[in-house]
Amino acid sequence: MKPLLCVFTLIALLSACNLQSGSLVGVEEDSGSASTPSDAPASDDPADSSSGTEGGTDTGTGGCVNVDTLSTDTSDTSPGATEPETEPDTATQTETGTDTEPQTDTDTGTDADTQTEPDTQTDTDVPPACPSDMVLIPAGATAQITAAFCMDRYEASRSDATATSFGSVETIAISAKNRLPWYANPMNAAAFAQFSAACTAADKRLCTAEEWFASCGGPDHTTYATGNSFDVEICNNVATFCDDYCADHSIPPASCNTNISNCGYYCGTGSSYNVCWEITPTGTFINCTNGFGTFDINGNLWEIVTSSSAASGYQIRGGAINCAAPATRLQCTFAATWTDLFAGFRCCRDL
């Protein structure tokens, strides 16, 4: 009986396997349905479409090739068997989710080199500045002036000169206010050479006759540095102190000699030779100037300027404190032809 029982049991098992294999084959051939086996959970994740071959349930063979492993194969279709396929790859998601370095590197406001770089372009229309002791005479000040240049603001003085001393150091010319100016009397070739050397030592040069004339007439090309009318009180000349002398010596105005032609030689009543003209410190006459800003171009001292047309190499311009007929001799066009006079100078510089 036991052999027969074993045969019947084997036949029953084979029959069961055939029935199961037939049902699975029917599912594969039914292309009209997409249902999943009842013992496998459905999933919406596209990644689960490959789980049929990775979980041990090969639907192509029905799962019953080896009857010896039949008892363990049935566990492959349980929900737990698909867990490895449906479990999300958290390592991959975390890596792609946190790696936001390309997104956070947004350098939008810190790189402003081109915005904050200062404009160093210079305006070529603005002429270069002159030193503080000089003034700018522009090109075109007269027809002869084709290039701008610098001219000393004041008549030259010695480096050790003060308001009360002419000084004695004769190496370099200084342009400064409130100093007694440097002069020669009489004027000669040695003085001309000395004046020229003093300007060179200051990194300057003697002014030319054309430059001096342009500066004297000022922007308005006037007869005098101060305008077209002569005023005895504006620039220092032979008649400037005549009335002051009379006031200081209690001489009535009606008796005071104020002849502007030469009263400085006959101060007071004019009955005898009596000098009252005087050289004053630079810039004392604050109105003896024009739009260019030079002082004492007219009066105080004559000024030596270079001239290619003069045999001596220089001209004597501007008038001085001891000149008779100052209304004529202080004109910008006048040039002295004698040398027994108070001759000073001022320096110029090219730009």
CA distance 155 to 132: 14
List per-residue pLDDT tens for the chain, 351 residues long: 444 444 455 555 555 544 444 443 333 333 343 333 333 333 344 334 333 333 333 433 333 333 333 333 434 444 444 444 444 444 444 444 444 444 444 444 444 444 444 544 545 566 679 999 999 999 999 999 999 999 999 999 999 999 999 999 999 999 999 999 999 999 999 999 999 999 999 999 999 999 999 999 999 999 999 999 999 999 999 999 999 999 999 999 999 999 999 999 999 999 899 999 999 999 999 999 999 999 999 999 999 999 999 999 999 999 999 999 999 999 999 999 999 999 999 999 999
Q: How far is the C-alpha of 329 from the C-alpha of 9, rounded, in Å?
A: 156
Fold observed for domain 134-237+280-351:
paralog of FGE (formylglycine-generating enzyme) (3.90.1580)
**What is the per-residue pLDDT for 127?**
61
**Burial readout 235-251 (b: 16 or more C-beta within 10 A, e: otherwise):** bbbbbbbbbebbeeeeb
The structure tokens listed for 181 are: 């100016």
Q: Range(s) for CATH 3.90.1580.10 in the chain?
A: 134-237+280-351
Q: How many CB atoms lie within 10 A of CB 76?
A: 16
